[in-house]
Chains A and B, each alone.
Chain A
C-alpha cells in the first residue's frame, strides 16, 4: 500500500524568506503526486500536481515542486513567502485503480509566517 510522510509537523519562516516543505512517498511505481493547502476552517485547495513528464511542476500562488524518483520525494518550494501563505500543507499520493484516483494524504505541515 502507498504511504506519504511529511517529516515536519510545524515550520516557521519569516516573510520574504524561501520555503521548502518535505514530502516522501512509498509506492512501487510512479504515483500521481499532489500538494494541497488548507486555510483554517476551509477545505483543501490543490496547489499543484505531478503525473508524468517534466519533474519540476509549477502551481498556483508561486509554488513549485520537484519530483525526484531516486529519493521518492516531492518537495514543495516557494522562493519568497508571503504572510498569506500561513496555512496547513498536505502532500498526497494518488493511485489510479481503474475507476478513480484514490488519494493517501500525509499528516500535514503547518506553516507559520512571521512578519
Chain B
C-alpha cells in the first residue's frame, strides 16, 4: 500500500495567491482528516470527512480556508487568498471508521507564504 499521498510536498507562494493542497487517502479508508502544524500552535485538526461528507469543520481558521472531498480517493484543502500566517506544514490523515480508528498520516505539505 502506498500510504497517504500528499502533493505538493513543498509550496512557496506570495501573499494573496490561491493555494491548493491535495491528498489521496489509503484505499478503503472512509475517514479523512486535515491538520495544520506550526511551532506556535502545534498540531491542530482543521476538518474531517466521513464517507466524503464534512463532519466537523470547527477547526478551519476562517473563510479563506475551504476543503472538499469529491470522491473517496481525493481531497483538497484550498486557501484563498493566502497570508504569511498560513505558513505551516499541512498533514492529511485517513482512517477506517469501524475498527481501531488508527489514523495514518501523509508526509505533509510545507507551505511558505511570502
Q: Name A residues whose Cβ lies closer than 8 Å to a Cβ of B.
A: 32, 34, 36, 42-46, 49, 51, 90, 94, 96-97, 99-108
Give the A-B contact count at a CB cut-off of 8 A.
Answer: 55
Partner of A102, one of B56, B106, B108: B56
Interface check B87, CB cutoff 8 A: no
Bound CA span A43–B107, Å = 4
Q: Name B residues whose Cβ lies closer than 8 Å to a Cβ of A.
A: 4, 31, 33, 42-43, 45, 48, 50, 55-56, 91, 93, 95, 97, 100-108
- A sample of 28 inter-chain contacts (CB < 8 A) reads A34-B102, A42-B107, A42-B108, A43-B91, A43-B105, A43-B106, A43-B107, A43-B108, A44-B43, A44-B91, A46-B104, A49-B102, A99-B97, A100-B31, A100-B50, A100-B55, A100-B95, A101-B95, A101-B101, A102-B45, A102-B48, A102-B56, A103-B33, A104-B45, A106-B42, A107-B42, A108-B42, A108-B43
Taking the closest CB of chain A, its distance from the CB of B53, in whole angstroms, is 9
Nearest A residue (CB) for B30: A100
Bound CA span A97–B45, Å = 15
Q: Which residues of B contact A108 (CB under 8 A)?
A: 42-43
B91, A103: Cβ atoms closer than 8 Å: no
Q: Which residues of A contact B33 (CB under 8 A)?
A: 100, 103
Q: A97-B56, A100-B31, A107-B42 are in contact. List 14 more A-B contacts (CB 8 A).
A: A43-B106, A43-B107, A44-B91, A46-B102, A49-B102, A51-B100, A100-B33, A100-B48, A101-B101, A103-B45, A103-B103, A105-B43, A106-B42, A108-B42
Q: Which residues of A contact B104 (CB under 8 A)?
A: 46
Partner of A105, one of B42, B56, B101, B106: B42
B43, A90: Cβ atoms closer than 8 Å: yes
Nearest A residue (CB) for B95: A100
